[in-house]
A and B are shown apart, each in its own frame.
Chain A
Amino acid sequence: MENNNYAIETNDLSIHYGSFTAVKGVNMKVERQKITAIIGPSGCGKSTLLRAFNRMNDFVPSCHVTGELLLDNQNLYSKDIDPVEVRRKIGMVFQKPNPFPKSIYENIAWGARINGFKGKMDELVEQSLRSAALWDEVKDKLQQSAYALSGGQQQRLCIARTIAIQPEIILMDEPASALDPISTLRIEELMQELKKNYTIIIVTHNMQQAARASDYTAMMMIDDQRAGGVIEFDATKTIFTRPGDKRTEDYVTGRFG
């Protein structure tokens, strides 16, 4: 099926640390230009799954992945795939803002430069900052350190630098959990803008955030072997109003978690 509607698909994807299986048998089809939320109680493997999407788990020595992760019908875990290239295609925004200890300008230019960008850098920086709704706040201090910005601004800078390298998918690992409510709102508004061009997968602890901001929701839960898995994956509306699984219902209605 060429040119399908799915940005990325998993096929029985499992993630193991040594002999321990942390995430088991995930089958998900993530639709293009939509926001897909991954929710579930602490320790159920949400972040582990998210980090499997851009092969960030490669850096954990004992971690290995079985099953398939398909991007354009290519398994990203097959032997001949270059993980560096994967991460260029699938960007990531982390829980805690982690701008580079460089100027605001350099934070954006650096990623573009190492990825071989040959165009007009000033334009790219401005465009990326505008897309991340940060330009007006920083246009007069591009040469200042990124650490002079507030937490919310830093997080938008991290989104801007990710956009600058033109990924197809942006992974967000609880991007607003370290931010105040106003900054959180701005990030959520920004996500709605970004989904016009990008596919977003977001891990969140915040049920309201998932309900407000996402189009699809995957509910994760650990089984009796402590392996996490997706127990339900559906349109967000369905998950929050007519969940098919009792455990999902208990979780989204706040009965536990």
Chain B
Amino acid sequence: MKEETLNIKPMETRGFRQFNLKKKLRISESLIQGLLFFAGILSIFVTVAIVYELGKEALLFFNDPDVTLGKFFGTTKWQPGIGQYGIWALVSATLTTSSIAILIALPLGLASAVYLSEYATQKMRSILKPILEILAGIPTVVYGYFALLFVTPILKTIFKDGIQVYNMLSAGLVMGIMILPLIASMSEDALSAVPRALREGAYAMGATKLETSLQVVVPAALSGIGAAVIVGISRAVGETMIVAVAAGAGPNFSFNLLDAAETMTGHIARISGGDLSYNSIDYTSLFAIALMLFLVTLVLNLISQWVVNKFREQYE
């Protein structure tokens, strides 16, 4: 072996600041820490403020001697002006349209996520994903008129006179299309995050692509997919324009998909758009509906979280 003589000169040390072990105040560090803390606390503060405002006004509603919790939860007609306070008239429409939406968006969204993450070539994915994300950027009022003017006429030819011009089916279907890209995109991220080693392990056991995708990759990504579903449900429950345009204007306790019915959000949008005096029962009732909306979203989120925790399979 040939010996090489290395000739290393001492490194230039001038130009550095002087070495000093003393503790020093770093203003930019403390500043950025304060800024980040403020950003974090802001969203919490806003949430608390909203809940406070909702609660305060809703309390006025429930303090009305005419309103009882029994009436609120126990009856099915909503007409605060004439003393009917049955919230189910609105909740039924919200649950119905949201269920249709999730039933459409979950299987289709998951299927496209599996396709994008497991089957599509790199090129295909780079074309399809942006298109999917454009779908997510369409304003919901456009979806609303898409439902009313395109989907409803098609449903009309299928169900003939059985279906009303405004109906929950059309609104629910289009709402499903609206949240589909959201669920697909979030699920795809979750699937892509599953380590390649897991897929290789499955393939090395003589698993087919389908077995690997559905029985190893999807279960491993379930907590991410669950998060996608939770966000999807929240979007559907809170969605306003589509249902306001296409589902109907007027509370109607019905789970019949072909009926017109007004959701909680649709009702709030319609009533608050008109002339309302601050002390009227109509005004305070809106806050009660909003609080109920909050509650429904919360309960649905808790249920999906529970389902996810029960079935998810954790890797590392």
Contact = CB atoms under 8 A, between A and B. Distances in A.
A161 interface: yes
Given A111-B205, A145-B314, A100 B198 contact: yes
Given A101-B220, A102-B313, A114 B204 contact: no
Given A61-B121, A101-B220, A114-B211, A56 B314 contact: no
Contacts of B205: 87-88, 91, 110-111, 114-115, 161-162, 165
Contacts of A56: 200, 203-204
A54 interface: yes
B204 A54 contact: yes
Interface residues of B, number: 23
A110 B215 contact: yes
Contacts of A110: 205, 215
Nearest to B198: A98
A251 interface: no
A158 B198 CA distance: 11
A115 B208 CA distance: 10
B197 A94 contact: yes
Contact of A98 (B122, B195, B314): B195
Contacts of B203: 56, 59, 87
B10 interface: no
B5 to A, nearest CB: 20
A96 to B, nearest CB: 6
A135 interface: no
A6 interface: no
Contacts of A123: none
Interface in B22-57: none
Nearest to B220: A101
Interface in B108-124: 121-122
Interface centre among A101, A145, A147 (most CB of B within 10 A): A101
A84 interface: yes
A94 B206 contact: no
Interface centre among B201, B215, B219 (most CB of A within 10 A): B201
Given A61-B121, A145-B314, A100 B204 contact: no
Interface in B175-212: 195, 197-198, 200-208, 211
Interface centre among A54, A56, A61, A111 (most CB of B within 10 A): A111
Interface in B299-316: 313-316
Interface in A34-86: 54, 56, 59, 61, 84-85
Interface in A101-127: 101-102, 110-111, 114-115
Contact of A114 (B207, B219, B220, B313): B207
B204 A84 contact: no
A88 B220 contact: no
Nearest to B1: A255
Given A91-B204, A111-B205, 18 more contacts: A56-B200, A85-B206, A87-B203, A87-B204, A87-B206, A92-B204, A94-B204, A98-B195, A98-B201, A100-B201, A100-B202, A102-B219, A114-B205, A114-B206, A145-B313, A147-B314, A147-B315, A161-B205
Interface of B: 121-122, 195, 197-198, 200-208, 211, 215-216, 219-220, 313-316
Nearest 9 Cβ contacts at the A-B interface:
A88-B206, A101-B313, A92-B204, A111-B205, A98-B197, A98-B201, A101-B315, A87-B206, A101-B220
